[in-house]
């Protein structure tokens, strides 16, 4: 029988109506030329990663794990050399002991800031989970608690940098500038690597000694260059996002100048021990293989984001970025305009998950967030937002932040299911 006919029958069996299918077909047709550009970027990045593997002579012996202290773990050490090669940095810290992107950022910050120093964010307030780390929200053990002050300069109304404000904020106490590439839960645009490079050059002209650190979460392999290629002293991210390729079961990375990596490693383990300790505990193979697959997986997630933008802007919703815009991370935000809309969207993403598809996501309080948050994620790795997932704070305009999809086909299915749940709720 005709494959297209059979495919539509399968969609119907999954609960997707003819209306949703038609909306998806129209959106996909418009997106095809954009997908070709993503595939070209993925091919380039795949070669970049492969070259790093070849240059470091990765072999099967590197997949053996270590226990205890982890002394002489050549697999762990070589993986860090591969990351440094991919990101074109002097060194890298890639560890299962870094439990999240927030933890990796915290280790980098605490490792390189001292009492009396000041941290500056020149792109507005960072992601919600850093509030308590910095001390924006009072918390024992924060940077503020250790005598590190914080200052921020908001972006202008059009999303551009406030260079004069940044110049005024830089002072003799400024030790580190933290640049968040992705938007987090804000409405500002994601920063391109080119924009990040422009900002770093501006800062370095005024204060060459200041550490420029980039929160690279959700941005890896979306472009052919990374922030470390345009002057970032440190780039930081999570392995259960882009660079883990959907296989890494845990972990984070910090890549950059050797001095700053050593400082971070002393914070992760202990002064004088640093990178010498840290058992890989049998996860080395998945960290290597996840990195190898990452350019392809990231491309699939980006296609899903573009498809989501197209179908929802066709339906009249406000989306950021718009489908036709060039992207710099894998996140797609969609303003659903009501709590019912946000809940229906997340219900659809959850229903399309391979794991826990039968679960109904509900808003709840989450550590590190100021508002109740609804999260949809039926993933093989708990909390892995490179897998199909969506979340959003329960506040106006009730924005869903959609990301992930290990395959383009699955990302497409998730979006169609979200549309269907909105249809079922008579919201579109």
Q: What is the pLDDT of residues 287-297, one digit of tens each?
A: 999 999 999 99
Least reliable range by pLDDT among 38-52, 80-94, 197-211, 365-379: 365-379
Nearest Cα neighbor of 416 from 19, 31, 9 is 19
Report CA torsion sign: 377, 382, 387, 392: positive
Q: What is the mean pLDDT of residues 266-274?
A: 97
Give the pLDDT score at 355. 96
pLDDT at 188 over 90: no
Count how many residues are written for the chain: 428
Task: Report pLDDT for 176.
Answer: 98
Which residue shows structure tokens 């329960």?
394
Residue 21 pLDDT level (bands cut at 50, 70, 90): very high
Distance CA 299, CA 319 (A): 20
Q: What is the pLDDT of residue 1?
A: 57
Mean pLDDT of the chain: 96
Residue ranges with strand state E in 260-416: 318-320, 332-335, 373-376, 389-393, 399-403
Q: How many C-beta neighbours within 10 Å does residue 326 have?
A: 10
Identify the band that residue 368 occupies on the pLDDT scale cut at 50, 70 and 90.
low
Q: Give the span between the Cα atoms of 12 and 10, in whole angstroms.
A: 5
What is the per-residue pLDDT for 367? 72
Model confidence band, residue 183 (pLDDT cutoffs 50, 70, 90): confident
Choice between 128 and 402, residue whose per-residue pLDDT is larger? 402
The pLDDT value given to residue 128: 84
Task: Label residue 281 left, alpha or beta by phi (over 0 means left) and psi (-120 to 50 means alpha).
Answer: left
pLDDT tens by residue, 26-52 = 999 999 999 999 999 999 999 999 999
List, for residues 214-264, the tens digit of each pLDDT value.
999 999 999 999 999 999 999 999 999 999 999 999 999 999 999 999 999
Q: Could you give the percent of the chain with pLDDT greater than 90?
A: 92
Q: Model pTM?
A: 0.95
Q: How many Å apart are CA 252 and CA 94, to the nearest integer?
A: 6
Stretch 303-307: mean pLDDT, rounded?
Answer: 98
pLDDT of residue 348: 98
* pLDDT at 336 exceeding the cut of 70: yes
Token representation of residue 325: 């815009």
- Separation between Cα atoms, residue 137 and residue 130, nearest integer Å: 9
Q: Where are the alpha helices (DSSP H) in 352-382?
A: none
Sheet holding 399-403, edge to edge: 318-320, 332-335, 399-403, 389-393, 373-376
């Amino acid at each position: 029988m005709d494959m297209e006919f059979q495919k539509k029958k399968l969609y119907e069996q999954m609960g997707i109506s003819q209306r949703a299918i038609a909306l998806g077909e129209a959106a996909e047709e418009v997106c095809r030329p954009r997908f070709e550009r993503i595939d070209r970027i993925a091919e380039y990045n795949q070669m970049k990663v492969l070259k790093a593997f070849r240059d470091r002579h990765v072999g099967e012996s590197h997949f053996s794990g270590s226990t205890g202290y982890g002394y002489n773990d050549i697999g762990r050490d070589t993986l860090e050399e591969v990351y440094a090669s991919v990101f074109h940095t002097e060194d890298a810290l890639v560890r299962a002991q870094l439990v999240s992107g927030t933890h990796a950022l915290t280790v980098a910050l605490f490792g390189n800031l001292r009492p009396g120093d000041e941290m500056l964010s020149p792109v507005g307030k960072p992601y919600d989970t850093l509030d308590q780390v910095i001390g924006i929200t009072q918390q024992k053990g924060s940077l503020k608690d250790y005598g590190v002050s914080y200052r921020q300069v908001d972006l202008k109304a059009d999303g551009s940098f406030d260079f004069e404000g940044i110049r005024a904020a830089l002072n003799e106490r400024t030790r580190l500038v933290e640049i968040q590439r992705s938007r987090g839960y804000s409405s500002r645009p994601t920063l391109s690597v080119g924009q990040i490079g422009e900002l770093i050059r501006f800062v370095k002209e005024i204060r060459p000694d200041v550490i420029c650190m980039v929160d690279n979460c959700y941005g890896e392999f979306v472009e052919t260059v990374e922030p470390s290629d345009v002057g970032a002293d440190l780039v930081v991210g999570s392995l259960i996002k882009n660079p883990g390729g959907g296989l890494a079961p845990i972990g984070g990375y910090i890549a950059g100048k050797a001095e700053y990596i050593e400082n971070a490693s002393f914070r992760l383990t202990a002064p004088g021990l640093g990178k010498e300790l840290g058992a890989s505990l049998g996860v080395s193979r998945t960290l290597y293989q996840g990195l190898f697959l990452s350019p392809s997986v990231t491309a699939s997630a980006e296609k899903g984001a573009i498809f989501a933008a197209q179908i929802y802007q066709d339906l009249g919703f406000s989306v950021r970025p718009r489908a036709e815009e060039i992207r710099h991370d894998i996140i797609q935000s969609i303003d659903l305009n009501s709590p019912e809309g946000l809940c229906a969207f997340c219900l659809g993403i959850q229903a399309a998950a391979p794991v826990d598809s039968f679960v109904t996501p509900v808003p709840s309080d989450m550590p590190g967030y100021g508002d109740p948050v609804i999260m949809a994620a039926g993933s093989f790795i708990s909390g892995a937002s490179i897998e199909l997932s969506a979340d959003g704070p329960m506040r106006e305009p009730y924005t869903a932040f959609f990301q992930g999809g290990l395959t383009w086909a699955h990302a497409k299915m998730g979006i169609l299911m979200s549309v269907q749940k909105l249809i079922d709720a008579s919201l579109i």
